[in-house]
Homo-oligomer: A and B are copies of this chain.
Amino acid sequence: MQLGLSVSDSDVSSFTPLVVLELADDTKAEAITWLLNRIRDKQQNGGAELLVNQLLFPAQDDQKPNPNVFVVGSTLQRLLNGAEDVGLFKEFQDGTMRGFTYANRESFNDFNGDGEGFLSDAECQYIIKHELDTLRAKNEEHVPGYPKLKLYPGKSVVRRLQSKGVLNQYFPLHNKEDLKRLSFSWYKKFKLSFQPLDDIRHYFGEGLALYFGFLEYFTFALVPMALIGIPYYLFDWEDYDKYVLFAVFNLVWSTVFLEVWKRCSATLAYGWGTLSRKKAFEEPRAGFHGALGFNPVTGREEPVYPSSKRQLRIYLVSVPFVLLCLYLSFYVMMVYFDMEFWAINIYNEDPSIATSILLFVPSIIYAVVIEIMNLLYRFAAEFLTDWENHRLESSFQNHLVLKVLVFNFVNCFASLFYIAFVMQDMVLLRQSLATLLITSQILNQVMEAFLPYWLQRRRNKKVHKRMRRLMGDKELPLLGQVKLETEMNTYLGTFDDYLEQFLLFGYVSLFSCVYPLAAVLVVLNNITEVYSDAFKMCHVFKRPFSEPATNIGVWQLAFETMSIIAVVTNCALIGLSPQVKAYFPESDTQLILIVVAIEHVLLAFKFILAFVIPDVPKHIQVNLAKLEFDSLEAFKKRRRALGR
């Protein structure tokens, strides 16, 4: 075995390793041979035509290393063809973004010589992932050596191996040089500057870069609100007209910034070439199962699962489960209020420093419980959504997001709604809001970055020590790196990050006219959030595959819905405030009618604003129209040339 080490290491150096494939360590030899052959085979034979090599780790006394770890790379030519396959958009010589074609490669900016450096690492890895994912079974009836791992023509080999646990994982390797440069410009220099979004996109892909773009944009958008909110806190302004002003500003502002974000994200996506890129045909997700049938679109053989069965599962199991969880959340909320009253009673009986601290304890406990419930529910939601057996990853994601959003919204804000509109206690509302917000921020930062980082560091040290012991002075950077990264946690996508921002946006906007300082807290949180998120991406998690994204997807809708709910809550809060009530001493009716009228006007204004502000900036519209026009003209010309 010791011999294998040096052999594999010299082999590996023949190409740049980009992606790591880890098979289960008891995988049968014939399955491995078959898989490697299929990966290496020429494209015209239905192979992926990629380079692949085994990595052999030195054996250890206490633990046998997994012998089935492989690195995958590719020739430049293959990658360029792959770029055309996946429909990558690149900057053309006239400055517009166009679909890359190998035949026209010379006409693209940044294409020099043989095209070295034309594709970023992340793009190369994305292409390799695509080629691996679309490596399809030919006439094999099952995976060699595994009669139970059935295959049928057209089935993605990698997905089948993955769903049956033969393929443990595959992930892209970090590029140490680039990572160093990126992390320096991203979070290591302590000066005020924008994030290097283009570099982030280069290294992690568009999906993640858009998240960081949104985080930055959102934070900047909150600054005006925070600035206006500070004097309210400093001078203890309690006049209703000032609150009304603040609330109206808040509502209009949140509409405007969400609309303008669409334009920003379109600009970013255009510059990154994802805006006009055609969506590839979506394959079934790895976990999808069903009786073998025919896909009506492709006509290929594929598992088919009747959507009526899925609907039954959704409406008879998932929906009742969600409702049950919501009920549970309400129940916990009522327990919290009992605790709250109990604490207040103790304080009233014996007002001292100890009991005044006790006043905050229920809120803090409740905040922690909320976080724990959110976490538990998250697992249940994932399990249920998986069980619903959605064919597409996108539909799986949508159902998951919906489940999680509804619960988190209720779980986080129910107590605030209760305090605001049932108890109508504005002082308690302000206090609860502050406690919930601050506690959840602290918890989040700990759970999200520091805890994983600490665990990771411990693991790193162990691995380093082990490797050093085994290999002595011999430097084997690749083996060490692969070993380390294999054991890192997997980044599960931007879901949790967006969810956190969504809830923060709720804290800021829903009750903004009661607690203008919320915006300040969120701005402060987000400044550290940028750093901790950046750090966790670079050093805590495995590098994720880049994901082409045009916009923030369903989250745009979620934020817009929140801003609509905020109009309703803020109008109601203003109507409830004693100062406003004092203006209409003789009749509540008139007050309510005016508040409702204002609310309707604000809502109508929001919709008109959303309608009037174009989603894509003018100059990008022109560029897109140009592309469309050119392709139409080219099509006509080609047809005419074919002689009619």
Contacts and interface: CB of A to CB of B under 8 A. Distances in A.
A443 interface: no
Contacts of A642: 103
A227 interface: no
A348 B626 CA distance: 71
B568 A281 contact: no
A622 interface: yes
Interface range for A:
20 to 34
A298 interface: yes
A564 to B, nearest CB: 9
Nearest to A87: B632
Nearest to A281: B629
Contacts of A593: 592
A465 interface: no
Nearest to A280: B632
A198 to B, nearest CB: 25
Interface in A144-201: none
A622 B296 contact: yes
A568 B296 contact: no
A596 B599 CA distance: 11
A205 B600 CA distance: 41
Contacts of A298: 626, 629
A162 to B, nearest CB: 24
Given A281-B629, A596-B596, A632-B281, A81 B297 contact: no
How many copies of the polypeptide does the oligomer hold? 2
A84 B639 contact: yes
Contact of A589 (B81, B278, B588, B632): B588
A510 to B, nearest CB: 15
A625 interface: yes
A596 B591 CA distance: 13
Interface string A228-252: 0000000000000000000000000
Interface in A292-320: 296-298
A102 interface: yes
A280 B633 CA distance: 11
A84 B81 CA distance: 31
A350 to B, nearest CB: 40
Contacts of A42: none
Interface in A602-644: 622, 625-626, 628-629, 632, 636, 639, 642, 644
A509 to B, nearest CB: 17
A448 interface: no
Interface string A463-475: 0000000000000
Nearest to A80: B644
Contacts of A278: 632
Given A281-B632, A596-B596, A600-B568, A644 B81 contact: yes
Contact of A636 (B85, B568, B600, B625): B85
Contacts of A628: 281
Contacts of A644: 81, 102-103
A579 to B, nearest CB: 18
Contacts of A101: 639
A511 to B, nearest CB: 18
A297 B625 contact: yes
A581 to B, nearest CB: 11
A390 to B, nearest CB: 15
A11 to B, nearest CB: 28
Interface string A266-309: 00000000000010110000000000000011100000000000
A102 B636 CA distance: 13
Interface string A431-455: 0000000000000000000000000
Nearest to A561: B607
A54 B84 CA distance: 54
Interface string A544-573: 000000000000000000000000100000
Contacts of A281: 625, 628-629, 632
A440 to B, nearest CB: 27
Nearest to A628: B281
Given A568-B600, A592-B593, A632-B281, A626 B85 contact: no
A622 B295 CA distance: 10
Contacts of A622: 296-297
A413 to B, nearest CB: 16
A492 to B, nearest CB: 27
A513 to B, nearest CB: 19
Nearest to A43: B640
Contacts of A85: 636
Contacts of A639: 84, 101
Contacts of A629: 281, 297-298
A424 to B, nearest CB: 13
Interface in A95-146: 101-103
A103 B101 CA distance: 25
Nearest to A596: B596
Interface of A: 81, 84-85, 101-103, 278, 280-281, 296-298, 568, 588-589, 592-593, 596, 600, 622, 625-626, 628-629, 632, 636, 639, 642, 644
14 contacts: A81-B644, A101-B639, A102-B644, A103-B642, A280-B632, A281-B628, A281-B632, A296-B626, A297-B622, A297-B626, A297-B629, A298-B626, A588-B589, A589-B592
Given A281-B629, A298-B626, A588-B588, 6 more contacts: A81-B644, A296-B622, A296-B626, A297-B625, A297-B626, A592-B593
